[in-house]
Structure 1
Amino acid sequence: MSTIPTKLQALISERIISGEFPPGTRLDERALAEEYKVSRTPIREALRQLAARGLTDIVPMRGVVVREIGVKELSEILHTDCELEALCARLAAESMTAMEKTELEYIHQRSKEFVQNGDIDGYLEANRELHRLILEGAHNSVLTKMVGDIRERLSPYRQYHPAEADRLVSSHASHDAIVRAIIDGEGEKAYLAMRAHNAHLGNAALRAIRQAREHGGASGNGAASAVMPRRRQAQGDPKPPAAKRGRPRSTPQA
């Protein structure tokens, strides 16, 4: 179960990514604690997590400020991740053991059950496990670490895209092409399938982020002007401010 700082980090990161907290915005511990109705301790830890993810910087005499990460830079990082993970899929097709392939097939079939039941949380957990198995199945520790580091840096951005009614269905279908190619030992097919899968997700995320930043920028709202719902929230359940009209919904990446 997620801790309070982790939940707060996720809520604040979405506001950074959407442009509600634009680059250069100072994230004040006291103001955020009052807004989310929690103490300053979990806010402080959440801000440390944001800095570790590269979304903020700690600036002398100013404190924690939102880092400038432009759409162009983000696009380049997404492209790098797309190519490297596709390479992992190719290597996995060529080097996975029979037992590893069996485990990959099992997780893929489990994810199908989650799709049929509309279990988003279950599917996302299976999705993370499936990608982990492919990375490890490449049997290249240097490449695996590179992809892991990039995915950690991208994780707040990759989860931000418009909700789609058939999101799980389309994601599982593209996973099917990847898994089939790996199990059959078809390295080039696995590479192309993973590349197409990640390219689609990356492009969807970029479109949503551009749209969100247009709305966020036009509103002129920064950290100081964000508004929380009036009813007080329990400390164990921090809530985000009311959503702005016109902002795209965000759902975790599948």
Structure 2
Amino acid sequence: MSTIDALELLPPPVFTDPRRVSVDLHLHLRRLVFENHLPPGTVLKQAQLARIFGVSRTPMREAFRMLQEEGLIDTAVDQRARVRALDGDELDQLYSVRITLEALGARLTAGRLASSERTRALAALDTMERAQLDEDLEGWMSAHRRFHRVCVARADEPIVRVIDSYAQRSERYLRLYQLWHPQSFAIAHREHADILDAIVEGNVAKSGTRIADHLAHTSITVLADVAGGNDGRAIRHALAMVRDPRRGSI
């Protein structure tokens, strides 16, 4: 079957609000990439997809822009785009930034969580556990985002904005980790609980190292799957910076 024929058979998006067509298109295309309905290398044409999904080119152009910002597609001047290949160097850089900034966010948050925030984090952990049992990956991912956001609750702009951006861009690799390593859910649950414990007890150094170790574990595992020859140089440098015992206190 040709690429064009395959695109014609894509499931249609669900539009929730006429004012959010571009947002719904973006989320739908994003999901199709994550679930490999649009595998790496697939050529996407704005006009064709707009016709298939019954929308104008304007919201489709905006959806393409958001996908490009997330690093999911590369666009050309002729309004075509291509789904980006999995890239070991990209993974290494994405997670090295996340390790550095989320460790900083966790250190800033340690001992300073409000009781309501701790309750939200525990609720997110419970939701993730139930979603995993129900095989509800979207529910798990949503709760996972909420949990990580609480862990850096005392970090302000622009740190949080950068963390959120890099977390979104690395989500593709996180989903592969879960797909290729089914035991990852149980491992992640233990690591998440340990991170929250360290933050709640106010242990600054432990909060940073635990979230850094958690992110490094995920990224180095996927890196070995995606690009076995890549040693994760940036990830390992970021991890070494966080683990330096001389940085344990101010």
Conservation of the 8 A alpha-carbon contact between 2:34 and 2:175: no
- Aligned residue in 2 for 1:193: 210
- 1:82 paired residue among 76, 80, 99: 99
Q: How does 1:122-137 map to 2 (within 5 A)?
A: 122-136=139-153
TM-score normalized by the length of structure 2: 0.65
Conservation of the 8 A alpha-carbon contact between 1:30 and 1:40: no
- Aligned residue in 2 for 1:9: 30
- Aligned residue in 2 for 1:38: 53
Instruction: Provide, for residues 216-246 of structure 1, a one-character-per-residue CA deviation record: whole Å limited to 9, x for no partner.
Output: xxxxxxxxxxxxxxxxxxxxxxxxxxxxxxx
The one-letter amino acid of 1:127's match is: H
Q: How does 1:51-200 map to 2 (within 5 A)?
A: 51-60=68-77, 62-66=78-82, 70-115=87-132, 119-136=136-153, 138-161=154-177, 162-200=179-217
2-structure distance, mates of 1:120, 1:69: 20
Distance 1:124 1:101, change over 3 A: same
1-structure distance, mates of 2:135, 2:81: 39
1-structure distance, mates of 2:31, 2:137: 17
- Aligned residue in 2 for 1:246: none
1-structure distance, mates of 2:144, 2:194: 14
Conservation of the 8 A alpha-carbon contact between 2:26 and 2:67: no
Q: Secondary structure at the match of 1:141?
A: coil
Conservation of the 8 A alpha-carbon contact between 1:83 and 1:195: yes
Percent identity over the alignment is 23
Instruction: Provide, for residues 35-79 of structure 1, a one-character-per-residue CA deviation record: whole Å limited to 9, x for no partner.
Output: xx534647545423322323445443x333447885324312211
2-structure distance, mates of 1:210, 1:17: 21
2-structure distance, mates of 1:12, 1:116: 24
1-structure distance, mates of 2:187, 2:159: 27
Instruction: Provide, for residues 121-155 of structure 1, a one-character-per-residue CA deviation record: whole Å limited to 9, x for no partner.
Output: 4333221111111122x243332222122223333
| TM-superposed deviation, 1:181 | 0.9
How many residue pairs get aligned? The number is 203
| TM-superposed deviation, 1:7 | 1.4
TM-score normalized by the length of structure 1: 0.64
Conservation of the 8 A alpha-carbon contact between 1:92 and 1:134: yes
